[in-house]
């Protein structure tokens, strides 16, 4: 998969979860990474790890900051060829306990942020009469969810809908839009999140892998990054409007493996 000569913006690219796997994969395929995040110093530290990468600060939920970031990128780097809408926040609360501000913030970042970044990107492409690629980071929660995740699940379902609709709106300009929906990612960050409800998070993750996936292996952020690169590359030139679940087959199981004794 070849991204040589391509400038790719990764929102929330300084994150040590999905952001790191996506940036590693883009760098490996020769793409130039434009790292966006909320904190410029952290984004710069991450950019220093990659060939020719540059960093920009912007809150993707703020329209002015997004516009200013695109103006700066255009002046410094030139035209972008791809955008990975990775920046996102979570919300793990029962629907009746969530506060209005938390729900607004979640939708502002996870849904409106994707729309605003995609909007500025597409305006730039149309002006330059150039094709381009958008990859949104969704989640398995757009397909099936669990306790305390109703609101996050609805935001990620909106990401899948946005992905389909943007693909339709921009297809005639040869601008593609797809999504990658990660399942349980094996990372230090996941261990720390899972430790909120499991006293042995590593055992919990191993049990998830054997009982709740088709594949008996862990999925990493880099696995998701590789699919992102595929969707950014010309190898996927006929794919648009799709969401690819990178989850070891978790969303494919009707019953868990233990229940059907098919481990």
Ligand X SMILES: NC(=O)c1ccc[n+]([C@@H]2O[C@H](COP(=O)([O-])OP(=O)(O)OC[C@H]3O[C@@H](n4cnc5c(N)ncnc54)[C@H](O)[C@@H]3O)[C@@H](O)[C@H]2O)c1
The tokens describing 234, both together, are 């010309």
For 85, list phi and psi in degrees, rounded to 5.
-85, 85
The number of residues that bind ligand X (CB under 6 A) is: 26
Shortest reach from residue 213's CB to ligand X, in Å: 14
Question: Closest CB to ligand X among 100 and 188?
Answer: 188
How far is the C-alpha of 24 from the C-alpha of 121, rounded, in Å? Answer: 22
16 binds ligand X (CB under 6 A): yes
Q: Which is nearer to ligand X, 2 or 48 (CB)?
A: 48
Q: Which stretch binds ligand X (CB under 6 A): 36-44, 70-78, 167-175, 249-257?
A: 36-44
Written as one string, the DSSP assignment of 80-91 is: -SEEEE------
Cα–chain center distance at 137: 2
- Cα 156 from Cα 151, distance rounded (Å): 9
> Shortest distance, CB of residue 173 to ligand X, whole angstroms?
25
123-138 exposure pattern, b = at least 16 Cβ within 10 A, e = fewer: ebbeeeeeebbbbbbb
Q: Which of 1, 28, 30, 38 binds ligand X (CB under 6 A)?
A: 38
Q: Does 248 bind ligand X (CB under 6 A)?
A: no
Residue with token string 């913030």:
105
Question: Is 185 a residue that touches ligand X (CB under 6 A)?
Answer: yes
The beta strands (E) that lie in 1-57 are given as 7-10, 32-37, 54-57
**Complex with ligand X: residue 79 or 89, whichever CB lies closer:** 89
CB of 113 to ligand X, least distance (A): 6
The single residue among 3, 7, 15, 209 that binds ligand X, judged by CB under 6 A, is: 15
**140 touches 152 (CB < 8 A):** no
Q: How far is C-alpha 100 from the geometric centre of its chain's CA atoms?
A: 24
Smallest distance from ligand X to CB 185, Å: 4
By the rule CB under 6 A, 86 interacts with ligand X = yes
Give the nearer residue to ligand X in terms of CB position, either 116 or 125.
116
What contacts 24+ positions apart, CB below 8 Å, involve 253-256? 253/212, 253/213, 253/214, 256/211, 256/212
Q: Which of 34, 35, 111, 137 binds ligand X (CB under 6 A)?
A: 137
With contact defined as beta carbons under 8 Å apart, do 226 and 25 qualify?
A: yes
Binding of ligand X by 45 (CB under 6 A): no
Applying CB under 6 A, does 59 fall inside the site for ligand X? yes
CB of 5 to ligand X, least distance (A): 26
Q: Are 124 and 70 in contact (CB under 8 A)?
A: yes
30 vs 194, which CB is nearer to ligand X? 194
Interaction of residue 17 with ligand X, rule CB under 6 A: yes
Using CB under 6 A as the criterion, which residues of the chain lie in contact with ligand X when the complex forms? Answer: 11-12, 14-19, 36-38, 59-61, 86-89, 109, 113, 137, 139, 182, 185, 189-190
């Amino acid at each position: 998969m070849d991204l040589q000569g391509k400038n790719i913006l990764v929102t929330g690219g300084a994150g040590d979860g999905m952001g790191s796997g996506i940036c590693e994969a883009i760098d490996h395929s020769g793409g130039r990474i434009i790292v966006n995040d909320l904190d410029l110093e952290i984004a710069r530290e991450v950019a220093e790890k990659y060939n020719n990468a540059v960093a920009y600060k912007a809150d993707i939920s703020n329209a002015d900051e997004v516009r200013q970031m695109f103006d700066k990128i255009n002046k410094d780097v030139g035209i972008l060829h791809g955008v990975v809408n990775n920046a996102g926040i979570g919300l793990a609360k029962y629907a009746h306990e969530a506060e209005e501000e938390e729900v607004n913030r979640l939708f502002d970042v996870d849904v409106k942020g994707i729309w605003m970044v995609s909007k500025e990107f597409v305006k730039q492409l149309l002006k330059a009469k150039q094709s381009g690629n958008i990859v949104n980071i969704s989640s398995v929660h757009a397909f099936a969810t669990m306790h305390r995740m109703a609101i996050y699940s609805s935001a990620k379902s909106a990401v899948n809908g946005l992905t389909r609709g943007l693909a339709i709106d921009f297809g005639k300009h040869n601008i593609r839009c797809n999504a990658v929906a990660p399942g349980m990612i094996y990372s230090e960050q996941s261990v720390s999140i899972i430790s909120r409800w499991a006293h042995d998070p590593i055992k919990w993750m191993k049990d998830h892998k054997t009982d709740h996936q088709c594949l008996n292996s862990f999925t990493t952020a880099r696995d998701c990054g590789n699919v992102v690169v595929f969707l950014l590359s010309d190898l996927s030139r006929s794919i648009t409007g799709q969401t690819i679940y990178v989850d070891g087959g978790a969303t494919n199981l009707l019953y868990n493996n233990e229940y059907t004794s098919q481990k």
